Amino acid sequence: MRLFWEAVKGLRVTARHLLRNLWKFSLYYVGLSKDKGVVTLEYPEERRETFPRVRLRHRLLRREDGRLRCVACFLCATACPARCIYIEAEEDPDHPLEKKPRQFVIDLGKCAYCGFCVEACPEDALRMDLHIPELAEYNRDDLLYDIEKLTKP
């Protein structure tokens, strides 16, 4: 019997929130109020505004001649607190910069989006997106972003 009254109490709270938000949204809908109440966003038509300092997925930049800016110095991998950047360096035989990445992988499944890698990069080769939060994948392995994925616009 006690449990029954507890359930009723809970339903009362639910009903209160429902009615309050229904009331608020009705007022908003007919233009009497600016407060929308607690209503789910209609994503993707509607998008929540991101904060101006949010940094999201990584981009590898290219130089004017199409070459990757990255020289495989490992500073991002060293700075990374989640240790999710994996690099393999190789010799670049014809370029004066001598060194380039053969493989450059960021594991976004592990990434903490702290931005230290961008900060550490001496070549401005790595940057992060501002307002594109779509980073979902069906597979964990697809979250390993390689050079191809990181340079795609």
Site residues for other proteins per CB under 8 A: 71-75, 77-78, 83, 86, 88-91, 96-99, 102-103, 105, 122-123
CB of 81 to other proteins, least distance (A): 12
Tell me if 28 sits within 8 A of 37, measured CB to CB. yes
The answer to whether 51 and 93 have CB atoms below 8 angstroms apart is no
**CA dihedral (64, 101, 73, 52) positive or negative:** positive
- Which CB atom, from 17 or from 102, has the smaller least distance to other proteins? 102
Helix intervals (H) in the chain? 2-29, 75-79, 116-120, 147-151
Select 27 or 73, whichever has its Cβ closest to other proteins: 73
How far apart (Å, rounded) are the C-alpha atoms in residues 73 and 104?
Answer: 11
Q: How far is the CB of 88 from other proteins (least distance, A)?
A: 4
Q: Rank residues 23 and 74 by Cβ distance to other proteins and give the closer one.
A: 74
- The label of the residue with tokens 């992060």 reads 128
Query: Min. distance of Cβ 15 from other proteins in angstroms?
Result: 52
CB of 122 to other proteins, least distance (A): 5
How far apart are alpha carbons 135 and 146 in whole angstroms?
Answer: 14
Query: In terms of CB distance, is 54 or 97 closer to other proteins?
Result: 97
